[in-house]
Structure 1
């Protein structure tokens, strides 16, 4: 056992730096496959190397750290794998902006030099992020730090690509994809953010080819794309138009005629006019319709979403209009097309229309459906087992409501476009023979994959081929595209443990136990990890997926630099201490509810750290007296009570963490430490600590140190720095809290009688303090008190507990039977079966006391009415968590009790005044 003194003021910065380094030097966070205990593994959602951590990262990594520290202390073989993600598009954009500021561009640098520049940025950003994670207290095994473009992970990416290609699950084809004209790359469906806005619905008349006086009127939100129309569709059962199926119409503004087809899938007879233009190269539904009817695909846009002159000529657009539209972006081309149609009197009306506009999730540029040769994953064979894994409970998604979102998306999943026309990322392991496909010789540092013919057959392998299997040529060019970032991230749980090698780490630590992540990447990342994990290991990549809420500002708004409401976690850690920020985020992490974070909350939990620190200093002041361990049943009443309560809290915190109720665990600890331990227990035992040396007093001193040491272990996963500093100062055994055992329920520490005794003390003291406040008696004034109870046994208890009550109320207490009640000039306060009388002595302004009671009554009545309204609302009771409803009900019950007490006091004082 050892102990040392603590500084008067808690200075978190010095403490955090000291213990962070100590933990690392001792290697406490290392995951050892030979260690005893069952494995418990977490892989970090790797932060993008695009800058520094934000408040969402702080929440995510705090929750992971709580789990891994808790499991490590439970004796599990704990491993938390850290790492960062190369984040293809996002990181390339960051570096391109840097080059732009320098007056340069990636094209000027060339591919190799640009990638070298990105690697340099990746090192800077990665180092910053890792330093910030360590500052947060993240107890990762830093010796296992991974990056998604490490050699080992790159090997895994190539292996997966080759195997999927060999099975026919990866293919290359010309398809309609989402195209970002700013990033100049393809995007998958879930990388497109849809924004609702007010648009226009344009009605356009298409004349029949054999009768120009008869029109088919279509309605479209994109009139400019009619230049790429290759058919018009009507419903085959629509009597208005089905007789026209097989005929042709003249396409306005062009020299072309296009067919009228019947399509029950594409056409909704109730929407618009019941006739629909088909533009296979510029609309996903139209693309599918084009496949059904074998229509040509006519793309009129280039990579920059500008009207392509050559395509306009191929589309038969009138020469004068063609010259006006050439190389114009869509936004500028549209009004010209509208004006031309109106001049021909082919646009009878324009209506307002609510529509969804797709934007790039990275740069927010409007996304264009674009016809392009790309690489795809045939997804359904991978999705089916991933659906079953969640349906059968192999994988739990928590809160469970999000499982329906996952299943709904997976059941409607489409093939995944995995190629990206950028330079930063995993290069696609496909090579093209320059003899078989001479066009590929044009592929240089700046060219895109569109130069390669859609039907070209590459050699796909883990390494570059040496000879062409078709013509024996030895000259190859690698596909210039890179893989979608999420392709490599999908392998993260097993690639970080050494796959495709059958490593000991993989055998020990895979499948991982828990994934902690945000809802925003449930489909980007989580679903794809499940698919790839099942496919390549035969096992789910994790057992539980815990989805945490978003962190918003105090008003519930999304944080953004433009709004000026961003809370920087590093600033708040420096200002209030890391533990205060961690505990704030943890206490507010209720499932399904976004966190409304305010600085006041962080400051409040900083006060909590100070409360614990001051308690530790008080305890150390009493460290020199003799201590004596007594059996639980022989310890003094108050010691039995605090150990009973500590035992209950220990049990409930473990249960809460098992159920990922971080908020409940934090709030249980807060209430116990602040209110029960510090406010009640430490006050109640002061006489024992100051009294003569007796076995009971020695036992109290022992219980004090014993309980406080357990509190530090219990709180450690949530507040690692503060607890380590205090634990090292108080009497303890061992080298560090990190490797101590986590407290578990002790079946011997149960005493309902001690709990009931404390309940009596608490009730009597609380109502006495209420009376002191009503009469404006200062804290130093000694009170004359009387107390009684309805039950004779309770009267006897009052007599037994009299010393404790007198100590906490600073009063002289007289206990009597009910027959001695009431007394004159006494304020009687009732709580449960107990009645306490405060003798009114000296000069007391009873009128002012009455005014205070009335004011308090109004305030509490207003709050009670609000809570009654909330609890009576079906909307609240249907949507709120059960514990939230219970909290509201408990608060209402407490308010009603307080109002009853105030009402009784008001009546008594009113009689005294009159």
Structure 2
């Protein structure tokens, strides 16, 4: 059999992925003879392409799914994409603009035709890319959040919640994206640190118009004169600090703290808005911080959430001066039609000229921007649809608190609790065309009905109005669409058609799903809402475990992004290092909930691991077997069998606790350190000599077991080696091979301990070889001064083979011209006469001895200092005493080595 010298991923990955699909290994259906295991993919945006975060998230999902499949479970991984209303509409609008077409020139139907065309052309790219990674999804089950069945599920839920009083329409403060011209969720708002400007404005006090601010002629000069000016100024003007002078035309009051003695004279007074001159009242509220700014607060209910709540409390009017695109409207009276930021620059100049601008200061601030468009968010009072959250949130919190749903790592419970205990009603409407249109229909008189479709809406409208002559043309459907999250919160139910047929075989078998793998930043916006929907519509949780990944960052700790140019193209990585190398590289440093500091060296390490495995396979296939030879490696075979079982128990525990990085490292060390570096060295025959059949049988058996343990992490190379090892049946793929069962070896602890002692002796000899520059195969002898002669007898062959020794002898004293080491309380010596320059070695040892004695004396001097001993912390003292003990031990060893020479 001809085996390629090097493993080439490109030659095997497409081949095996195609065969897995042809065999139908990824397909899942209800099977009462098997336990179910199901995972739903966090649906990537239909606009998306594979990035590093997707790579990490989907690799973890694939590891879990592949292992469950091998455990004999009916493993179902449902893929799909999210219609991503804001992002997709922005993409389509930009594409149309390139063609010279403006959205406003199209009808809704025309625009949606373009959007669906775009989706069909580009919407499946990311799913095809996931196949390159090896994702073992049931592709026949691929869903899209805006497909007809899922859209109907969304509308059914909207109607149901409206009828239950959980959904309502009202004017509330929302995050408004002036560029996208839509409300957006809190999750779609990105906070950016910035240096902003604070403008100090003079609001004229009504009734003090004729008082003059002038220098008083008095005996007081300097400081007293300035205080007089300030007093006169304060009686005429109220100084207000604001970062948004362009909104002063929307002011309806100024507020001061009733306990602030500086403003007692303004209680019950009015002031005039600068430039505009409109009179507004001074109101009193303890909400106003006396130690921030000037202690005075402009109240603009239409453009600030806190101001809005103050306005409701004091029954103040609301004046909205902004258009949807961020320009000022007629209600502003000044600067009408101009952009808000252009107005900010101009009004500062105009206020300065009018003597109404005291000063401008820089200050550190946080800018709220739209994730989708980058526009600065505008708090805006808007007529929107809302879903009440308080009742559903209580239930969703309870199932996490009692661990019916477990968060991994559990530290995220605190974050979850904080969100759920402070939940607000959910703004579910978006001013877009791409998405599920809100099923509300308006009658000519402005009232509305909520219905699943037009026919039901017309029937309700006739009944509600008492007008049997109403026609469909008399009704107008709401223009808004639903927030994308309003479809994805139903995902674990809707992908199994649980709304279309609540008692179908799929939903009954695969729901609740088992594990969800997602990012902490959507713990509330998606995970919590799925829990709410599951409890509301299935009366049970949607999943049992939530594994929260970290963010993939570069080696400087920055989040990877195309804008920063610090994110490699995942497909380029796969082409260069192979999918298995990339998968393992991503998992080498990805503990749950902690960010992954990505380094290309991790992926190189992953590729090196695939090469190591391939070379180990090639080594075993190059051995010639002689069936007449006796079983020569019983100790090695017995040891690795025990090591394998111990590691399997450790591995299963890591999986149970979702320690994915630890699970990979456990298998990695078993394969690289124990199997390749130790076991194969123990059992491999001498050059061109045959191996006995029993040893080879066990070795190939162990290799097959290791391939099973590695397969979830490295599916492609393991499947390739699996089929190269021997002829397999048409369904005998590693992909569906049984996961190794735990079968503890009797006396394994003692067995492992004895082998560790033998290997420590080997390490001691190898260390001497390295120190003395002796080659790894140069024949040496070993003299042992030990009470455990049985160890040397039992492991004689292994010690001599791995340490390249011609013989091991028991001695009472150190042989002449030897160098020694201590292992397990026993002393070992390697005679070096004729092997090295004894004079040079003696000089080296004397020099090292002199240095070590000097170091010990320094430590002793410190420990004899009473002041140091009295004042030093216990752990510091302990470290110094340990240094002394280590130095004295080394001195004794060096003196012994010198005596032997």
- TM-score bracket relative to the smaller structure: 0.7 to 0.9
1:844 paired residue number: 836
1:289 is aligned to 2:310: yes
Going from structure 1 to structure 2, the CA distance change for 1:740 and 1:306 (only over 3 Å counts) comes to: same
Alignment partners' CA distance in 2, 1:222 and 1:246: 26
CA displacement 1:619-668 (0-9 Å, x = unmatched):
233475549999xxx98111110000000111111111111101111111
1:387 is aligned to 2:397: yes
The Cα shift of 1:299 comes to: 1.1
SS of residue paired to 2:149: helix
SS of residue paired to 2:124: helix
SS of residue paired to 2:101: coil
1:65 paired residue number: 62
Alignment partners' CA distance in 2, 1:750 and 1:338: 84
Alignment partners' CA distance in 2, 1:424 and 1:663: 40
Going from structure 1 to structure 2, the CA distance change for 1:101 and 1:711 (only over 3 Å counts) comes to: same
The Cα shift of 1:285 comes to: 0.6
Alignment partners' CA distance in 1, 2:493 and 2:168: 24
Alignment partners' CA distance in 1, 2:885 and 2:769: 18
Going from structure 1 to structure 2, the CA distance change for 1:401 and 1:851 (only over 3 Å counts) comes to: farther
1:478 paired residue number: 477
1:198 paired residue number: 195
2:134 paired residue number: 137
The Cα shift of 1:602 comes to: 0.9
CA displacement 1:690-737 (0-9 Å, x = unmatched):
8788xxx44322211221111111111111111111112224776111
Matches within 5 A, 1:361-760: 361-433=371-443, 435-437=444-446, 456-463=447-454, 465-466=457-458, 468-469=461-462, 470=465, 471=467, 472-474=469-471, 475=473, 476-500=475-499, 501-502=501-502, 503-622=504-623, 625-626=626-627, 636-687=634-685, 697-731=692-726, 735-748=732-745, 750-760=747-757
1:256 is aligned to 2:278: yes
The Cα shift of 1:898 comes to: 11
1:74 is aligned to 2:71: yes
2:855 paired residue number: none
Alignment partners' CA distance in 2, 1:900 and 1:720: 52
Within the candidate set 229, 234, 242, 1:220 is matched to 242
SS of residue paired to 2:302: coil
The Cα shift of 1:907 comes to: 6.2
1:299 is aligned to 2:320: yes
Alignment partners' CA distance in 2, 1:105 and 1:702: 72
Within the candidate set 768, 774, 777, 1:777 is matched to 774
SS of residue paired to 1:613: helix
Taking only aligned residues, the RMSD between alpha carbons, in angstroms, comes to 3.0
Going from structure 1 to structure 2, the CA distance change for 1:567 and 1:900 (only over 3 Å counts) comes to: farther
Alignment partners' CA distance in 1, 2:797 and 2:164: 81
Alignment partners' CA distance in 2, 1:629 and 1:432: 90
Gaps of 5+ in 1: 314-321, 438-455, 859-893
The Cα shift of 1:801 comes to: 1.8
Going from structure 1 to structure 2, the CA distance change for 1:896 and 1:744 (only over 3 Å counts) comes to: farther
The Cα shift of 1:207 comes to: 2.5
Q: Is the 8 A contact 2:327 2:337 kept in 1?
A: yes
SS of residue paired to 1:194: strand
Q: Is the 8 A contact 1:787 1:834 kept in 2?
A: yes
Greater shift, 590-599 or 491-500, is seen at: 590-599
Greater shift, 659-668 or 299-308, is seen at: 299-308
Alignment partners' CA distance in 2, 1:176 and 1:197: 24
Q: Is the 8 A contact 1:689 1:700 kept in 2?
A: no
CA displacement 1:318-367 (0-9 Å, x = unmatched):
xxxx2xx2322222211322223233333323333222211101222111
Going from structure 1 to structure 2, the CA distance change for 1:6 and 1:114 (only over 3 Å counts) comes to: farther
Greater shift, 832-841 or 739-748, is seen at: 832-841
1:807 paired residue number: 801
Alignment partners' CA distance in 2, 1:689 and 1:89: 67
Going from structure 1 to structure 2, the CA distance change for 1:834 and 1:303 (only over 3 Å counts) comes to: same
Gaps of 5+ in 2: 210-234, 852-881
1:163 is aligned to 2:160: yes
Q: Is the 8 A contact 2:435 2:481 kept in 1?
A: yes
The Cα shift of 1:5 comes to: 5.7
The Cα shift of 1:904 comes to: 7.2
Alignment partners' CA distance in 2, 1:375 and 1:743: 54
Within the candidate set 290, 297, 301, 1:269 is matched to 290
Q: Normalization by structure 1: what TM-score? A: 0.86
Q: Is the 8 A contact 2:766 2:776 kept in 1?
A: no
Going from structure 1 to structure 2, the CA distance change for 1:557 and 1:788 (only over 3 Å counts) comes to: farther
The Cα shift of 1:614 comes to: 1.5
Alignment partners' CA distance in 2, 1:34 and 1:708: 32
Q: Which aligned segments of 4 or more residues in structure 1 are displaced greater than 6 angstroms?
A: 627-630, 688-693, 848-855, 894-913
Alignment partners' CA distance in 2, 1:241 and 1:849: 90
Going from structure 1 to structure 2, the CA distance change for 1:458 and 1:132 (only over 3 Å counts) comes to: same
Q: Is the 8 A contact 2:41 2:79 kept in 1?
A: yes
Alignment partners' CA distance in 1, 2:359 and 2:843: 73
Q: Normalization by structure 2: what TM-score? A: 0.87
The Cα shift of 1:401 comes to: 0.9
CA displacement 1:78-127 (0-9 Å, x = unmatched):
21111111111112222223333333333344432332222222223333
1:871 paired residue number: none
Q: Is the 8 A contact 1:586 1:663 kept in 2?
A: yes
Within the candidate set 49, 52, 59, 2:49 is matched to 52
1:353 is aligned to 2:366: no
Greater shift, 63-72 or 796-805, is seen at: 796-805
SS of residue paired to 2:357: coil
- Higher Cα Rg: structure 1 or 2? 2
Going from structure 1 to structure 2, the CA distance change for 1:420 and 1:332 (only over 3 Å counts) comes to: same
Q: Is the 8 A contact 2:623 2:690 kept in 1?
A: no
1:333 is aligned to 2:343: yes
CA displacement 1:785-822 (0-9 Å, x = unmatched):
32332xx1x223113322211111222233214x2x22
Greater shift, 43-52 or 339-348, is seen at: 339-348
2:352 paired residue number: 342
Going from structure 1 to structure 2, the CA distance change for 1:635 and 1:837 (only over 3 Å counts) comes to: closer
Alignment partners' CA distance in 2, 1:43 and 1:853: 68
Going from structure 1 to structure 2, the CA distance change for 1:816 and 1:362 (only over 3 Å counts) comes to: same
The Cα shift of 1:158 comes to: 0.3
SS of residue paired to 1:718: coil
Alignment partners' CA distance in 2, 1:312 and 1:805: 90
Matches within 5 A, 1:6-17: 6-17=3-14
